[in-house]
Structure formats: structure tokens, C-alpha cells
Amino acid sequence: MSKQPFLRLFFGVERPATRAPASRLVAAIRDQIRSSPALEGCRLPPVRVLAHQIGVAKGTIQTVYDELKAQGIVESRNREGLFVSRREGAIAPAAPPSSGVSPPKLKPIPLLKRGAPERRPGLLPLSAVFIDPRLLPRKRLADCFRSVLASPGMPGTYDVQGLRALREWIAARLRRRGIVAHADHIVITNGSQQALDIVLRAIATPTIATENPAYAVGKRLAELSGLEVVGLKVDPFSGLDLGLWERQLRDHRPGLVYLTTNFQNPSGYSYTTGQLSQIAAWSRELGFGVLEDDWGSDMLSYSEFRPSLRTLGGENVLYMNSFTKKLLPSLRLGYLLGDERTIETLVHTKRVSSLAVPALVEAGLLEFLERGYYEAFLRTLHEELDARYRHCLDLLDALMPEEVRWTAPGGGPILWLDLPRAISLRDLEERMRRRGVQIVTSEDAFFGEPHLHGFRIGHAYLAPAEMARALELLARELRAVLGRRAA
């Protein structure tokens, strides 16, 4: 077992105690230990180290330690050294927060009104946006990471913009999907969340627009960045009201429009080519930039057939994507594609925000991509996810009461389930939790009064039997509530 680190002791700033009598040092150490119960059980520095630190003879420190031992403040443990006595820590009163000293002043805004929808262990996450971790290629990833760690090419430093070879691989793949991309214009990010963060930090205009309902954490990030955020209504059943969008865009003149054009989170909506072309045309006419979040690509075979705004809108569009949702959430690797006019600012913004993402992780992912594992993985993943998507729709058809409706987005990770207004979402969330199922009701995603009343179902996360169980329980709860209302 490795040894415990040493406690740091402080003796004031003035060159202390060359002549300090041992008694003053005893008092100084005792006061520190008594004023902080957290020190209980901590290990004291060796005699020679403390003697060197404060510039006194070793014999003086030995005397000090002997005295502290005699007072029961410290105790020696076999061959391990001296430790602050348990008894001493236990009797020391907890120091009250000293008045007049405040922690750093933070904005009084919680991350999300409802709190972050963290996954609760033991509950079936019916609204998860992730792919089932059991489907992910952990072994192959582990092989690649092992190989990188063992190789002489293991990166010892980092490139702020991201590993060049990884950027080249990504650019080549984007080009195969019809997106003009050059490695020089790509920044590797800590998930696509950092891509969003970089753009929101760098944007020079005070107003942006995004979908309503929005990707809630992105909306919150924009608000925390002090931006005014305009919500553009998306109805996954009837689509976009482009007339309304146009009025809002002309009235508010956002400098940036952030859109998730495939399987938007949380509505599951995918834009049509006509809608994308219209947005690209407005972007040129009204002079706003677009940030396209392509999170849903690669997640189902269908998703590849949708055009990207970057293709239609050209370099007016910043494009972001991520490996976290389709490969492994813990990789936390995403990327942002700009062009020669924007890339310098984007890279510089990343530099000041985080310097770089871990180059080791970049190298491990690159190994995985270069061995051809990604495309092979996607082939099997698509089959499984297509089957899960169809299975989920079949279950909804078979189980849901007729007042409930849902979308059939054609793929992606999520669909939207909409409920009669008479059902309280909070109440349903709680009832489902008691039955072992977690739903996320997305209130934070809306601007003002929500025009939808329901939640997203993540059909890529739960295994077929789990999905059947979760939806059976949901149907039972809904029937119970609706039955009570009708009675």
C-alpha cells in the first residue's frame, strides 16, 4: 500500500524561527491541528524535512515532536511515521465559517431549473440520449489505448488545435459525406459541448437564436454567457412555422443561430431539405452565422441520407459533431469545423479556455479510427439500433392509451411522446421513479410556456426487454391517471 502524503504545516511569512524555542513551534503546530478537525489522521513531515523547511536544527524538531507526542496531539504508527491523533481531531471543535470571509461570488443561477437530469443508478433511463453502453466496442477501444500507451509514438505533449492526424482523418470522412472540410479548419474539442462553449465565448453579437424546445444545457450555457437567446418554435408533429421563424429572425437579428438539424434534442425533429435551404438563404440575406450541431449523424443508417446545413450554407456555417454519443461517452471527444476566417479565433478561444483536450485520448481514438474499427462498429450498431427503434414504435402502438401521441423520426436516438394536458408531468415523473423508471420532462428546454406536453424517449439505450418493461409500466400509469380523470 502506498504511503499517505505529508501534512503541510505553515509558520507565517516572516523567516520564522531560526531561534524559535521548541515551545513556540509546539504551540504553532498544536494550534493548527486544533483549529482544523480535517487534519485528524494526517501524516506529519519527517524531522529532517520540517527542519529544512523552517531552518532549524533537526534536534529542535525532534524535541517538538516528542513534546507533541507526550501531549497526545500526535501519535506514531509502526514504521509509518507520526500522525495527528484521532482523539485530537475528534475533540477539536469544528471551526465555524469565519465571519467576513466569503467564498468566491458566483452567479446565483443553478445549472438548470430542475437540476441536471443525472442518471440515477437502479432506474431504467427511458429518456437517455446515449447508446446502450453494452453495445459499445469497449474491447477494441481498450486494445487501441493499450497499443498507444505502449508505443514510442505516445504523445508527450499536445497540439492546442488537436492532434493533426486525427483532424485529417475527420476532414477526410466529412468530405466523403459531402462536407467541404480541411484539417486546418478543424478544432478538436472536449465533447461537442466544448465546441458550443467556444463558439458562444467567441461570438461578437449579443443575441443568438436556437430551437424551442432547445438542447437545455446548451441554452443554459448561452444564458450563463450573458447572451440573449431567442427560441424558434419546433413542433415535431407539424414541423417548423417558417413564417414565424422569419419574423423572429428579422425582429431580433441574432448574430448566430444554433440548430441541431438531425433528431433535435429533445423533440427528435429532423429538418427537411427545403427548410435547411430556406435557413441557409436567410443566413446569407440577414447576415447571421449558423452553428450546426450534427449530433445525430452516424447513429442510425437513415441519418446519413440527410443533407447538412454546412453543405447547403457553405462556410457561413460552423459545424460541430462528437464521438461521445456514438462511440463512448467517456471519450469526451468532439470537433468543430470553421474556415480560414474563423479558425484562428476558435483555436485561440479554446487555448484560453482549456489549452487542449488530452492528447492521449486523441491518440487512442485515432488508433481506433485508423484500424477501420469505427466503420465496422457502425455497421453492426446500425442494425441493432434500427431494430430497437422499430421495436419501440411497435410497443408504443400496442401499449399506449389512444389520447397519447408520439413521433416517428425515422431513427436517431430519441422520439417525442406527447401526453394530454390533464396529466401532470411532475407527478408522472415521480410515479415512474417509484416504479423504477426515470423520465426527463425537459421543462428547462422551453422558452416560456411549453407548447408540447411530454418527454423524449431514448430508444437507443434500453435493451428490448427493458424497453418493453419501461413502456408497460408507463402505459399502466397513464391509464391509471387518465381513468381516474374520466371517472
Q: How far apart are CA 254 and CA 275, in angstroms?
A: 18
C-alpha cell at 137: 466496442
The number of residues that bind ligand PLP (CB under 6 A) is: 12
Based on the shown chain and the rule CB under 6 A, indicate whether residue 215 belongs to the binding site for ligand PLP. yes
Backbone angles phi, psi at 293, to 5 degrees: -100, 110
Is residue 355 within 8 Å of 155, Cβ to Cβ? no
Cis-peptide, bond into residue 266, ω within 30° of zero: yes
Is residue 201 within 8 Å of 342, Cβ to Cβ? no
Based on the shown chain and the rule CB under 6 A, indicate whether residue 117 belongs to the binding site for ligand PLP. no
- Shortest gap between Cβ of 374 and ligand PLP (angstroms)? 16
- Shortest gap between Cβ of 75 and ligand PLP (angstroms)? 48
- Shortest gap between Cβ of 323 and ligand PLP (angstroms)? 8
C-alpha cell at 398: 400496442
Based on the shown chain and the rule CB under 6 A, indicate whether residue 212 belongs to the binding site for ligand PLP. no
327-386 positions binding ligand PLP, by CB under 6 A:
334
Helix (H) or strand (E) holding 125: strand 124-125
If the CB atoms of residues 334 and 411 are measured against ligand PLP, the closer one turns out to be: 334
- Shortest gap between Cβ of 448 and ligand PLP (angstroms)? 21
Closest CA to 410 of 436, 389, 439: 389
Closest CA to 446 of 437, 432, 456, 459: 456
- Shortest gap between Cβ of 321 and ligand PLP (angstroms)? 8
Residue 287: left (phi > 0), alpha (psi -120 to 50), or beta? left
User: What's the angle, vertex CA 279, arms to CA 293 and CA 258, rounded to 5?
Assistant: 30
Distance, CA of 264 to chain centre:
17
Based on the shown chain and the rule CB under 6 A, indicate whether residue 89 belongs to the binding site for ligand PLP. no
The SS3 of residue 29 is helix
161-200 positions binding ligand PLP, by CB under 6 A:
191-193
If the CB atoms of residues 331 and 471 are measured against ligand PLP, the closer one turns out to be: 331
Residue type at 206? P
Sequence-ordered strand ranges (E) for 346-443: 405-406, 414-418, 437-438
Q: How far apart are CA 413 and CA 434, in angstroms?
A: 25
1-20 positions binding ligand PLP, by CB under 6 A:
none
Based on the shown chain and the rule CB under 6 A, indicate whether residue 444 belongs to the binding site for ligand PLP. no
Residue type at 465? A
Site string for ligand PLP, 238-277 (x = CB under 6 A): ----------------------x----x------------
If the CB atoms of residues 162 and 191 are measured against ligand PLP, the closer one turns out to be: 191
- Shortest gap between Cβ of 211 and ligand PLP (angstroms)? 10
Burial of 61 (0-12, 13-18, 19+ CB in 10 A): buried
If the CB atoms of residues 283 and 322 are measured against ligand PLP, the closer one turns out to be: 322
Site string for ligand PLP, 279-308 (x = CB under 6 A): --------------x-x-------------
Q: How far apart are CA 256 and CA 271, in angstroms?
A: 18
If the CB atoms of residues 67 and 294 are measured against ligand PLP, the closer one turns out to be: 294
If the CB atoms of residues 193 and 248 are measured against ligand PLP, the closer one turns out to be: 193
Based on the shown chain and the rule CB under 6 A, indicate whether residue 129 belongs to the binding site for ligand PLP. yes
CA distances 80 to 40, 76, 83, 143, 484, Å, are: 16, 8, 9, 39, 68
Q: Which residue is nearest to ligand PLP (CB)?
A: 191
23-82 positions binding ligand PLP, by CB under 6 A:
none
- Shortest gap between Cβ of 275 and ligand PLP (angstroms)? 18
- Shortest gap between Cβ of 79 and ligand PLP (angstroms)? 48
If the CB atoms of residues 347 and 414 are measured against ligand PLP, the closer one turns out to be: 414
Identify the residue among 63, 324, 349, 407 touching ligand PLP (CB under 6 A): 324
Helix (H) or strand (E) holding 10: none
Closest CA to 289 of 264, 261, 319: 319
Beta bridge partners of 232: 211
If the CB atoms of residues 258 and 406 are measured against ligand PLP, the closer one turns out to be: 258
Closest CA to 187 of 345, 373, 364: 345
If the CB atoms of residues 60 and 262 are measured against ligand PLP, the closer one turns out to be: 262
- Shortest gap between Cβ of 192 and ligand PLP (angstroms)? 4
If the CB atoms of residues 338 and 458 are measured against ligand PLP, the closer one turns out to be: 458
Based on the shown chain and the rule CB under 6 A, indicate whether residue 322 belongs to the binding site for ligand PLP. yes
If the CB atoms of residues 63 and 324 are measured against ligand PLP, the closer one turns out to be: 324
Which residues of this chain interact with ligand PLP, rule CB under 6 A? 129, 191-193, 215, 260, 265, 293, 295, 322, 324, 334
